[in-house]
A = this chain, B = another copy of it.
Amino acid sequence: MDTTKKTIIVFSGDLDKLLAAFVIANGAAAMGDDVTMFFTFWGLNALRKEGVTGTGTGKSTVQKMFATMLPKTPSNAGLSRMNMGGMGARLMKKVMREQNVDSIEQMRQTAIEQEIQMIACTMSMDVMGFAKEDLIDGIEYAGVATYLGEADEANVNLFI
């Protein structure tokens, strides 16, 4: 089997879109591909560390406001459609358990185990008010030039 490369820009922090991103990424890695996930904007939520408030020192007031309003962990993410104050997301998580579909946290763990390269976009971290201590270990920090370098080596590049 040839090893090829895939990149995914994870812009969305919605449960359903994160699910799609991790299913594609983990599927490609399982088939032997190199995979890079580049997390920007709302997608950074998928990398949040459990129990971190995101209102630490060195942030401006506006950054703290943003950090406070964002879902605290991936499992608190809403749906991109029909979220209905969180009910849609709870329904979808219930069906995922019924159908033995992994949770986002489990998929993220699988991604780490499959050595998928996970990069947090540093410009987005500035805009959204995320510091490195807010995010999980084992990820990289870089900007758009790094993404473009990875994308140039890949045969499939998606923006989710």
Binary B-proximity of A44-63 (CB < 8 A = 1, otherwise 0): 00000000000000001011
> Could you tell me the distance between the alpha carbons of A66 and B95 in the complex, rounded to whole angstroms?
10
Q: How many copies are assembled?
A: 3
Asked whether B91 lies within 8 Å of A66 as measured between CB atoms, the reply is yes
Q: How many residues of A contact B (CB 8 A)?
A: 57
- Taking CB as reference atom, which chain B residue is nearest A91? B62
> Which residues does A use to contact B, with CB under 8 Å?
4, 6, 9, 11-14, 16-17, 19-20, 23-24, 27-28, 31, 33, 40-42, 60, 62-63, 65-66, 69-70, 80-82, 91-92, 94-96, 98-99, 101, 123, 126-129, 143-145, 147-148, 151-152, 154-160
Could you list some 30 contacts between A and B, CB below 8 A?
Answer: A4-B152, A9-B20, A11-B16, A11-B20, A11-B160, A12-B80, A13-B81, A16-B41, A16-B42, A19-B127, A20-B40, A23-B144, A27-B147, A31-B145, A31-B148, A42-B80, A60-B95, A63-B95, A66-B91, A66-B95, A70-B82, A96-B127, A99-B123, A101-B123, A151-B155, A151-B156, A152-B155, A152-B156, A154-B156, A159-B159
